[in-house]
Structure formats: C-alpha cells, structure tokens
Amino acid sequence: MLKFLSIRDFVIVDSLELDFSSGFTALTGETGAGKSILIDALSLALGERGDADMVRGGCERAEISAGFDMANLPNLQSWLREQELEGDADTCQLRRILDASGRSRGFINGRSATLQQMREAGDHLLDIHGQHAHQSLLRPDAQRELLDGYGGLGREAEAMGALFREWQNIHRRRAQLEQNAEAVAAERDLLLFQRRELETLNFNEPEWNELQAEYARLSHAASLLETAQFGVETLSEADSACLAQLNMLVSRVRAGIEFDTALQDTLGMLESAQNELQEAVYALRHYQQKLDADPERLREQEQRMAAVVEAARKYRVAPEQLPAALQRIVARLDELGGDADLAALAQQEAAARAAYLAAAKKLGAARKKTAEKLSREITAAMQTLAMQGGSFAVALVPLAEGNVHGLEAVEFQVATNPDSPLRSMAKVVSGGELSRISLAIQVAASQVATVPTLIFDEVDSGIGGRVAEIVGQLLKRLGRQQQVMCVTHLPQVAAMADAQWQVSKTTRNGATLSTIRVLKQAERVEEIARMLGGVKITETTRKHAAEMLGIAA
C-alpha cells in the first residue's frame, strides 16, 4: 500500500507531502488544475522515463519519493533480497531525481537502482489504469497470472513449470550426448585403452620408492661387496689388522694398571673401541652374505623402471603421479557414460515429457473453465459501464510445442460494440474504455489481486448518470480489498469515495503552482456541489451534493 508521497519542484508543484490511507480516494478539481501530476510523479518514481521539461522552471532538479507498506508482499521482499536492495522491515522506498539537464538517478531503499529495477519493484506495488504506460494488465504474463490466480491454479502452474524445466534439462543432456556421439565414442575408446594400459602396469608410489632403492643397490652390488671385504680385512684379517693391534694394546694397558691405576679410564675406552670394531666386523660379514649380486634380478628391475618411466613420459606426468592419472581417466569415463546411458536418457526424456504433457493438459482444462467464468463476469460488468453489447473473452491460444507456462498462451480480448470483433485488449485504442475494462477486471479478480494499490485515470470518460454511479460503486467495492485512487470529474464517482482530495492551482510570486489538500465533510459538499452545478452553486445544489454523500455513506 502507498503510504506517502513527496514531490519537489516537479512540473508546477514546488513542494508537496502527502500521506495516504486505505480504501477508495477520489482526486477532483477544475480542469487543468494538475490532477494528473500526481500520477505522473508516481510513474516517474516507478521507473518511467522522464525529461528535463518535468523539472519546474528555474529549478535545478525535481525529486519524487514514495513509500510503500510491503508487509503482505513476500514476493517483493524476496526480490529485494536477491537484488541486495533491502531496507527497513516491511517498507519499500522509491526515490527518483531528475536534473534540469535531463540526467536521472533512481534509488530503492536508499541504494542506487536502475530504471529497470525500479519498474520491476513497481510491478509488485502499484498499477495505474488509464492512458498511461504503467499498465500490467496489458502484459501477457500478467494476464496469465491473473487467470491462474482467479481460478486458484497457481500451485498447479508452478508444478507444471517445474516438470517442463526437468524435461528440457534431460532433453538438452540427451541431445548433447547424441550430437557428440562420434567424438564421445572416440574419446571413450582412447580412455578405455589408457585405463587398460595403466591397470596392466599395476603401479603405485610405494613400489616406485622401493624399486629405486633396490635398483641402486643391485646396480652397485660388486662395489659394495668389495667395500665390505676391504673392511673385514682391514679390521681383522690383514697382517696389521686394526683389531690385532688394538688387542695387543689392551693387553699391555691392562698389565700396566698393576703399577698405575690411572690407566683404568684409558683401558675402559680401549675395551669399548675393541667391542665396537668387533661388532663392525660381524656386521660386514653378515652384509657380505646377504648382498645379492644377481644380474638377472638387476635386468628385471631395469626393465620395470623403464616401463614406468615410459608410461610417465607418455602421460606427461612424474612416475609417482601415474596412479592419479589413472583416477582421472576413470572419472572421465564415468562422465562420458556409454550407449546404455544414451538409451536411459532417452527413456527419461520420454517419461519427463509425458509427465509435463499430462500436467499441462490438466491445467489447460482447468484454465478453460476459469476463462469461461471470468469472461462471463467481466462481460456482465461491461454492460453496466456504458459498453452495452460489448464482450470480453479470455482466449487460450494453443502452442504447438508448449512452454514452461503450459500448452496455451493467455490473451485478454475485447469487443467494445456488438458488431465489433474480439481483438487483443492491448490494441484497444480508447483510454476511457481501457480504464473501464481494467476496472471490471480488477473488481472481478480483487480476491486474488497481488498488486495492493490501484490508480484509475479517466475511467469516467464518456459516461455519466447511472453508469457513473455504478463506476463509483465498483471502485468503492474494490477499495475494500485494495487501496484505490481515482482521478474523476464526476460527482457520482467522487461521492462514493472514502476520502476526497482536491487539486487546485494557485499563483505565488508570479508562478503558477498546483496544490492538493484533503477535504473535510463540509468541504466535500462544496466540491461535489461545484462538480454538479458548474459556475454558480445554489443551496439546492449543495443539498443534492449532501444527499449524494449521505447515500454513499
């Protein structure tokens, strides 16, 4: 619901602060007083294009700010979160600045926004019906949503849309796989060969480490045996072996202790060295026995290492990375699948298409019943709105392939005269007729309406008397469900309003300005009397005006 509107230096408004209430509000005033300025300002705030002529003469910029209560608009709240344009809880503020140079800036909840974003936000908040562009009922998607909402078919439409998207996803996957079948088959054959090759190699990183160590040992076996033999001879078998010399030294030091105990520590160290050297001799002899200098085993290790290195070179990885290469090949094969996968996808696609078609046909049948009911109701309303003999139809145009919205397109069609053919409502030329038809639609669909604020401009064009009173009654009834404002010249319509605002022109310092004020009950009598009586207002006219207000109340 629209809560407030602030207008600064816009056309012939210098400064205007307006607070709005629920129900039906009528905007009245003399011709040329500027009643449409309010609508123009709101349109600008909702993302319509502006130009420099809208800035009041002599001013640098025009500024429009509008605040809306969106407590009952969860879709708008979600949209604002997605766009990162959240503001205060349950409130949406739109602000538009238009410079005298023609440059324009828009803001949603204090954050910079594009005109497209402002229009999208406005689609959730307000509809202006009349000779203005902000008219959701002319959009095919809005017509379809209204029909589904009127028939309570929103969930069915959403579920069917999900089935369509699932079908299309499977179709794209199957088509892509089929289109690339030859290339996929060639890639699969190569990957299968590579997998067999690496699996046959049966290689892992721990084996590579052991292989390198064993190869190094086997390839230097002769040198290692020679080193071990040299060590044994040096320590214990040569004529001047270390152990023999050390043993003699130990014997002499042990004998010398009888004469000087100071040699005790030295003897301990020599005996320790004697033991260490003896252990080294045992270790070298054991190593000699264990060391394998088998040339056949060496050739086997050389061949194994050559095979691993060749595979690593072929797959352009280090030898220890070959197991990871095999894992990547297996994963890619899983992604590509096989002929069985293509057949399975085709079956899934057929099942998904059948599920979509079943849901779409069921929804189409429900839409047909709903369209007939809505068409009758709006046609009946048109007869009371100075369009006798006119008719309204919700046409369901079949679609050859169907889409996410079903097997038919929804189009509102209108014939304004008995001898006129039905044609798209978007092509109705008369703004007054369009406004009244929109009024009839909104009243019929008021129980399911999603836009909380409706503004009607020129709905009374070309009507009067009883029809004008009916228009007022319809607007009053609509005001019980939504916030409704109507620019009107007819006293019968204004009298039905819950509140009445008067738009007037004044001259200040040589400048013509437009002002708006809320009328009290006595002032309403005077204004409606003016609308009834023209130039001269008599007591009879005032009594008639008071009577009209009394009857409406």
Residue ranges per structural domain of the chain: 2-156+365-380+427-552, 185-336
Report in angstroms the alpha-carbon separations of 536 from 343, 501, 541.
87, 21, 9
Q: What is the pTM of this model?
A: 0.58
Name the token pair of 458: 């020129």
Distance, in Å, from the CA atom of 188 to the CA atom of 207, rounded to the nearest integer, reads 29
| Strands lying side by side in the sheet with 13-19 | 13-19, 2-10, 61-69, 91-99, 104-108, 111-113
Distance of CA 443 to the CA centre of its chain: 33
DSSP letter at 55 equals B
493 token code pair: 């319509």
Residue type, 150: Y
Q: What is the DSSP string of 286-317?
A: HHHHH----HHHHHHHHHHHHHHHHHHHHTTS
* Residue 42, both tokens: 């709101």
Q: Tens-digit pLDDT profile for the chain (553 aa)?
A: 999 999 999 988 888 898 999 999 999 888 766 777 888 899 899 988 888 888 988 889 999 999 999 988 888 999 999 999 988 888 999 999 999 888 999 999 999 999 999 999 998 898 877 654 346 677 888 889 889 988 989 899 999 999 999 999 999 888 877 777 677 778 888 888 988 988 888 877 777 777 767 666 665 555 565 676 677 777 777 777 788 788 888 888 888 888 888 888 888 898 888 888 888 878 877 766 666 655 666 677 677 777 888 888 888 888 888 888 888 988 888 877 655 567 788 899 999 999 999 999 999 999 999 999 999 999 988 888 778 888 999 999 999 889 999 999 999 999 888 888 898 887 765 666 776 787 778 777 765 667 889 888 766 666 677 778 888 888 888 888 889 998 888 899 999 999 999 988 888 877 788 888 899 999 999 899 988 876 778 888 889 989 888 887 7
| CA atoms of 117 and 125, how far apart (whole Å) | 13
Measured torsion, CA atoms of residues 312, 315, 318, 319, in degrees rounded to the nearest 10: -30
- How far apart are alpha carbons 273 and 267 in whole angstroms? 10
CA distance 443 to 382: 11
pLDDT value for 332: 85
3-state secondary structure of 37: helix
Contact 116, 94 (CB under 8 A): no
- What whole-number distance in Å separates Cα of residue 320 and Cα of residue 328? 14
> How would CATH label the architecture of 2-156+365-380+427-552?
3-Layer(aba) Sandwich (3.40)
The pLDDT of residue 132 is 46
* Cα 142–chain centre separation: 20
What are the strands of the beta sheet with 406-415, ordered from one edge?
Answer: 391-403, 406-415, 423-424
d(CA 411, CA 292): 93
| Interior/surface letters 485-505, b for 16+ CB within 10 angstroms, e for the rest | bbbbbbbbbbbbbbbbbbbbe
d(CA 288, CA 227): 10
334: phi then psi, degrees, rounded to nearest 5? -65, -40
Query: Which tokens belong to 140?
Result: 């095919």
509: left (phi over 0), alpha (psi -120 to 50) or beta: left
pLDDT of residue 223: 59
Count of CB atoms situated within 10 Å of the CB of 60:
10
Q: Residue 58 CA to chain centroid, in angstroms?
A: 44
- Residue 173: C-alpha distances to residues 134, 163, 191, 339 (Å): 41, 16, 21, 14
CA angle 289, 295, 299 (to 5 degrees): 135
